[in-house]
Amino acid sequence: MYAYLSTAHRLLQSFQAYEIKQIPRGENSHTDALARLASAINDKVGRKVPVEILAQHSTETSETCTVRYEDTWMSHIYLYLTNGTLPEDKTQARKLRYRSARYTVINNVLYKRGYTTPYLKCLTAEQGDYVLREIHSGVCGDHSGSRSLTYKAFRQGYFWPTMHQDAHSLVKRCDKCQRFGNIPHIPAEPLTPIVSPWPFAQWGLDLIGPMPQGKGQVKYAVVAVDYFTKWVEAEPLATITAAKMEDFVWTHICCRFGIPYAIITDNGKQFDSELFRLFCTRLKINLFFASPAHPQSNGQVEAINKIVKKLLKRQLDKAKGAWPEKLPEALWAIRTSYRTSTGETPFSLAFGSEAVDTCHAHNPLLQSHIGNMSIVHASQGLYKETPIPKRKGDKPTVQELFMLENLDSF
């Protein structure tokens, strides 16, 4: 009613003069009868109610959007690179020129130059908060710590000055991270490295369970991890037999990454069986068993099992029986998370580049603009803006360079 009254007042303003008169009821019988017509009918009202959908509003209203302009940390850098605008203070101008040398503007978007990474898209504090929340607790969020979260946002191609502080604050406020976080009871021990010659050559195999029963009566999970790239494969199972282990190795390892050189397992009956031994012998796979007195020989897959169970706890909360549906998301989170032992993510070591995450939907990177170009130009553009070796395994580490220098001097 208020909208109609406002429309009537607006229409009346277009007249030079108007007069409102009240007509007595006796002189307005036709209109009065029309108003009482609906209540005068004694017929029963049907149970069906017709619904009319209006294609447009019956009244026209003007919409007002609030626009907020505020300076961000990159406003002065952007103005200097595009228009050459400098502060009046000479000291601040000199600092701005020195700071702007590490930035560039492409397609009206500010990017930060990297050394071994592509151009990093600069974000505001609000945009950075969205990226961190999407990586931390989004569709495939892993609820990682602040350091891993910062590194993951950096490897996704984003930058803002307060990345680490914002990530630390986000993890500190996350309820699931506080309730399901690790509580150390014993001091840390040094890692026991197991060298793998090349990617997907040596796999660790183990079982998780029994877990809360899910759809299909599944309550176990078989987990495999590659010792070189730390790539993880897993599958929920209802029963754990030697035939299931053979089918898992053939489907998830051999048909995807080739025949491995060796498989390391524990002394479970599913692995130490004639059927599984014949399967490995037929494919020329070396089968090794971890000693019960030295479980560190299969510690890689045990560590992955702990991470998988921790991620499932944080994602499921009280719906424990839905863990088979959440298992692919947990695996994706592990595959795209930074590993301290390698300095890279399993995805980048396996495929040579970082995965496209869900945060790119609202904050597209420079690579997405090249899609309108031809295939040849697109490949050339990606090569120019991504000066990363094609194989991450071919990039020498700092330790290897140090050893080579010492060897030459010797």
- For residue 322, the model assigns a pLDDT of 84
Residue 7 lies in a domain: no
Are 146 and 169 part of one and the same domain? yes
Of 249, 258, 144, give the one whose Cα is nearest residue 206: 249
Residue 77: count of CB within 10 angstroms of its CB: 19
- For residue 409, the model assigns a pLDDT of 46
Query: Of 285, 313, 340, which residue constitutes the final position of a domain?
Result: 340
What is the pTM assigned to this prediction? Answer: 0.58
| CA gap 107, 121 in Å, rounded | 12
Residue 138 lies in a domain: yes
For the chain, the maximum distance between any two Cα atoms, rounded to a whole number of angstroms, is 119
Residue 191 lies in a domain: no
Residue 91 lies in a domain: no
Please answer whether residues 234 and 331 qualify as being in contact, where contact means their C-beta atoms are separated by less than 8 angstroms: yes
Are 255 and 324 part of one and the same domain? yes
HSE-up of residue 32 (Cα within 13 Å, Cβ side): 7
* Per-residue tens of pLDDT for the chain, all 410 residues: 677 788 888 888 888 888 878 888 777 777 777 777 766 665 665 667 778 887 777 666 666 655 555 678 888 888 888 888 888 888 888 988 888 888 888 888 888 887 766 788 888 888 888 888 888 877 667 777 788 888 888 878 888 888 889 888 888 888 777 776 666 665 666 666 666 778 899 999 988 888 888 888 899 999 999 988 899 999 999 998 999 999 999 999 999 999 999 998 888 888 889 999 999 999 999 998 887 766 666 677 878 888 888 888 877 766 778 888 888 888 888 888 878 777 788 888 888 877 777 766 666 666 554 444 444 454 555 444 444 444 444 555 544 544 445 544 44
Are 177 and 248 part of one and the same domain? no
Are 272 and 289 part of one and the same domain? yes
Are 334 and 362 part of one and the same domain? no
| CA gap 40, 233 in Å, rounded | 74
Are 208 and 292 part of one and the same domain? yes
Please answer whether residues 203 and 263 qualify as being in contact, where contact means their C-beta atoms are separated by less than 8 angstroms: yes
Query: Of 286, 311, 340, which residue constitutes the final position of a domain?
Result: 340
Partners of 263 in the β-ladder: 203, 287
| CA gap 61, 7 in Å, rounded | 9
Are 352 and 384 part of one and the same domain? yes
CATH label of the domain that carries residue 295: 3.30.420.10
| CA gap 378, 382 in Å, rounded | 6
Are 124 and 178 part of one and the same domain? yes
167 Cβ contact partners less than 8 Å away, ≥ 6 residues apart: 132, 136, 146, 147, 149, 150, 153
- For residue 140, the model assigns a pLDDT of 66
CATH label of the domain that carries residue 177: 1.10.340.70
Give the position of tokens 């020129």: 97
Number of domains in the chain: 2
Residue 371 lies in a domain: yes
Name the 3-class secondary structure at 7.
helix
Are 280 and 150 part of one and the same domain? no
Residue 222 lies in a domain: yes
| CA gap 86, 78 in Å, rounded | 11
Alpha helices in 227-322 (DSSP H): 242-248, 255-257, 274-282, 299-316
Are 326 and 381 part of one and the same domain? no
Are 174 and 222 part of one and the same domain? no
> What secondary structure, in 3-state letters, does 86-112 show?
CCCCHHHHHHHHHHHCCEEEECCEEEE
Kindly state the tokens that stand for 218. Answer: 């599944």
Residue 291 lies in a domain: yes
Domain that holds residue 373: 102-182+342-410
- For residue 345, the model assigns a pLDDT of 86
Residue 78 lies in a domain: no
Instruction: Give the start-end residues of each E strand in 180-237.
Output: 202-208, 220-226, 232-237
| DSSP for 172-191, written as a single string | HH-HHHHHS-----S-----
Are 129 and 159 part of one and the same domain? yes
Please answer whether residues 223 and 233 qualify as being in contact, where contact means their C-beta atoms are separated by less than 8 angstroms: yes
Query: Of 340, 357, 375, which residue constitutes the final position of a domain?
Result: 340
Angle subtended by helix axes 75-83 and 90-100, to nearest 10: 80
Please answer whether residues 237 and 324 qualify as being in contact, where contact means their C-beta atoms are separated by less than 8 angstroms: no
